[in-house]
Amino acid sequence: MNLTPADSTVSVAPNSRATQDRPTSKNADQSPKSDGAAAQTASVATVTHLINKLSEYLPPSDMKKVKEAYRFSDERHLGQIRKSGEPYISHPIAVAEICADWKLDAQAIMAALLHDVMEDTDVKKDELIERFGAPVATLVDGLSKLDKIEFQSQIEAQAENFRKMLLAMARDVRVILVKLADRLHNMRTLGFMIPEKKRRIARETMEVYVPIAHRLGLNNIYRELQDLAFAHLYPLRYRTLSKAVKAARGNRREVVSKIMESVKNTLAATGIPAQVYGREKTLYGIYRKMRNKHLSFSQVLDVYGFRIVVDSFANCYVALGTLHALYKPMPGKFKDYIAIPKLNGYQSLHTTLIGPYGTPVEFQIRTQEMHRVAEAGVAAHWLYKDEEASLTDLQQRTHAWLQSLLDIQKQTGDSAEFLEHVKVDLFPDSVYVFTPKSTIIALPRGATVLDFAYTIHTDIGDQAIAARINHEQGALRTELRNGDIVEIITAPSSRPSPNWLTFVRTGKARSAIRHHLRTINLAESTELGKRLLAQALTALQIDPALPDSVLEKLKNESSAKSLDELYADIGVGKRMATLVARHIRGLMESDPTMPLPPVIESSRKLEPVAINGNEGVSVQLAACCQPIPGDSIIGQLRRDQGIIVHATDCDVAKRQHTKEPDRWIELVWDRELTRRFDCRIKVLVANEKGVLARVAAEIGESDANITYVGMDDDKDALMKLLRFTVQVEDRIHLARLMRNVRRIRGVARILRERG
C-alpha cells in the first residue's frame, strides 16, 4: 500500500508537439502550483513506454491504429497545459498505460488516448467514426461529458453525466474501465487543484467511482482510489494515521516475521505448495474500522494480515485446517467466500486467528486464479460481447448487473432518480438468501422481502402480499438476514403502494414501484396536475383555458411526450405547477398577439385545491397526523407520490415545510365526501372485567368502524390504555363518538391521538 501518494509525473516523447505555443482551451488546467497534499510516486509514463507495453500483447496491425490515435490526440490537445505544468497529452498517455496493464484491446487503448478530444476540443463524433471506426467513437462518446447542454444545477448536470456514462457502460464495460483509469490518474495528480475542487472530486470519487470499482472486482483500483479520496477529504486525519501506521510497522515487525516463518514451515511440512504474503490494511480501511467501532488506533490490532495463495481449490481448505491447528481461530470470524462468492466474483477463505502475544491476525486463502480475479476483477477477463455461452460466472453476474442498469433506466423518470437507484445498488455489503429451490440471491445489506421479490421478477414484486421466511409467515417489510430461505406469496389483485417506497432497499425495486405508480395511476395524476396548473395560472391572472399554440409550445419546450404526461408530472410532484405557470406566461409575453394583464403576484393568493380523498394514490393522507374532514389541511408535493395531505398543525408538516417551503400548497376539503377516514383515539380505562367490550360496543353504536385495537401489556396495572383506529365521516362524527364513549362506566379519559 502506498502511504503517501504524490502526483505521478508523466513525460511526453521528444517528438510530441504538445509543448509548442498555442492558446490554451477553456477546459485545460493551467496553474502549475501544488499544495503537496497526498503525493504519490508513480512510474514515469512515456509514449515509448506505452508502446513497449502494448507490443507485448497487441499485433502490429493494432499497434498501427494505436499510434494513429496517439498522433491525433497529440495534435488536438496541442498547447493545452495541466495544472501540474505538464502538456495535457501526458494525461491520456497515463490513462492508456493503466488500461494496458489490464491488457485491454486496441479499441479501448485508442479510446483512452482520445477520451478528452470531444470534451476539450472541437472534434465531433462523426469525425472519430470516419477516422477510427464506430466502436472507438462510441467509447469516447460514452466517456465525454454533456458540457454543451445547459442544466438547472450542478447536481442535475452531474447526475446526467453519470447516467450517460453508466448506460454506456451497460452496453460496453470498457467504458467504465477507461473511466476508472482516467479517474485514478486524476486522483493521483489532484494535489495541484484548489482545496474546494479537491474535496468535491474526492467526495464524488468516494461516492460513485470507489463503489463501481468494488462492484466490478477491481480491488487494486478500489483500494487506491479509496486511500487517495480519504487523503483529500480528511488530509489531517490521513497524515496522522499514516504516521501511526509507520510507527507500528517497527513495533510489530518481529511479530509479523515470526508468524510468516511459522506459517511457511507448517504449510511446507504438510506438503502444500503455497506463497505467503504479508498484507497491510489500507489507511482508509483502518480509519473506517476506528470510526465504525469507536476504537483508538492502539485498539485496532489487526492492521496486518496474511494472504496465502495455493495451487488448487481443495488445498484452500487443507491450508485452512493447517492454520487452525497452528493458531486458535476466533469464534465467528470465519467466512467462506469460495462456496458463496461475493457479488463482484471475489473468492477466498477468510479466518482470524489469535497469533503470538495474543494479537488477532487475519488470513486470506485462495488459488492463483482466485487471486487474479480478486485483484483485477472483471478486467481479469473483461467482457464486452453478448456471447453468454462463453461467459465465466463472474462475467455472467457482471453482465446481469449491467443489464439491470438498462432496466432501471426504462423505468426511471430523470437522471437524478436514476443515479439515486444505482448508488443504492453499489454499496458493497451484502446478504445472501436462498429461494425455496436453493438458488442463492445476493442483496444489499438491509434489503427486505419486497427487494427479494423484485429481484426474482418485477411481476412477482408487483403482486407480492407476504412471504414465508424459513417456513414462517413474514411481512413484506421484514429485513432479510444471511441464510434466510424466502418464498414470496402473491395475489393477482395486489398492486404496488406508495408506502412500499419507504422500506425497499434496491434500485430495481424502487424504480419498478415508481414506474408502476406513474403509469397505472396516470389518469388520476393527470387530472390532479390539470387542477394544480389551473390554480397556479389563475394566481398569475391567466385564463387556464390556454390557446392551442401556447400548449404546443409548452409541450415542445418541456421535453414531455404529450400534454397529459406534462400534467401527470405536475400531479406526482416531478414538476412544480408555479414554475410551469411562469414559463407559460413567458411564452405568452413573447407572442405580441396575446396581450397579458400586469402580474401582481402578491395581490393574488393561490386558491386552495379541493380534495375529497377518493383521488387514489395521487392524494394520500399522512399517517403521522391522519387528517379528517373538518381539520385545516395543507398539501406537500412529494416526488412520484403526488400530494401528501397533512393537518395544518402537524409537527412533521411544520418541520418539512421549513426545509422545502416551495413544495407546499393550500388545500380544502371538498363539499361532497363519499368515504370514511381513519382516525386514532386512545382511551384510559379502569382495569376491570368487560370494559373493552363496552367501549367497542359504544363505538359501533356511534356508527364507526374499528380497524385496529391494542392495549397495554401490564396486566397488574390499575388503569389500562386502549388504542383504537376508527373510521369516521368527519370531526363532528368523531366528537359525537368520543362524547358517547366518555359516558361509559370505567372510562377515565379519551382523546384523539396525533403524531
**Residues identified as active-site:** 119-120
Pull the grid cell for residue 753: 391521538
What are the beta bridge partners of residue 442?
432
CA distance 599 to 589: 11
Residue 438 region by backbone torsions, left for phi larger than 0, else alpha for psi between -120 and 50, else beta: left
DSSP letters spanning 43-54: PPP-HHHHHHHH
- Helices of type H across 447-547: 449-456, 458-462, 507-520, 522-539
Structural contact between residues 628 and 677, judged by C-beta atoms closer than 8 angstroms = yes
Identify the burial level of 755 via C-beta atoms within 10 angstroms of its C-beta, where 0-12 means exposed, 13-18 middle and 19 or more buried: exposed
DSSP letters spanning 260-318: HHHHHHHHHHHT--EEEEEEEPPHHHHHHHHHHHT--GGG--TTEEEEEEESSHHHHHH
Of 273, 261, 268, 252, the residue nearest 358 (C-alpha): 252
What are the beta bridge partners of residue 367?
310
CA distance 242 to 3: 6
Crossing angle of the two packed helices 195-204 and 174-188, in degrees rounded to 10: 150
* Amino acid identity for residue 606 in this structure: L
CA distance 705 to 734: 11
CA distance 508 to 421: 7
CA distance 280 to 253: 12
The residue to which cell 469507536 is assigned:
294
